[in-house]
Amino acid sequence: MQEKLIVVEIDEAGNSTIDLAGFKGQGCGDVAKDFRGDDAVTQSSKKREFYAQVATTKQTQRKV
């Protein structure tokens, strides 16, 4: 499993930035939204990992 890193920086004026590393696809956006809360976003940019396909595993069960 890839390590995930969240860096939150708050400057002297109270402005904050969030940098998310190790997330792929919409997972990054979900985490950012949780950190953001009700605060307004003034600038947003997506890294190339955002556009990467997230591998999913389909599991099926069979009765024996």
What pLDDT is recorded for position 33? 85
What pLDDT is recorded for position 28? 79
Please write down the HEC assignment for all residues of the chain.
CCCCEEEEEECCCCCEEEEEECCCCHHHHHHHHHHHCCCCCCCCCCCHHHHCCCCCCCCCCCCC
This prediction's pTM: 0.60
User: 63 falls in which pLDDT band (50, 70, 90)?
Assistant: low
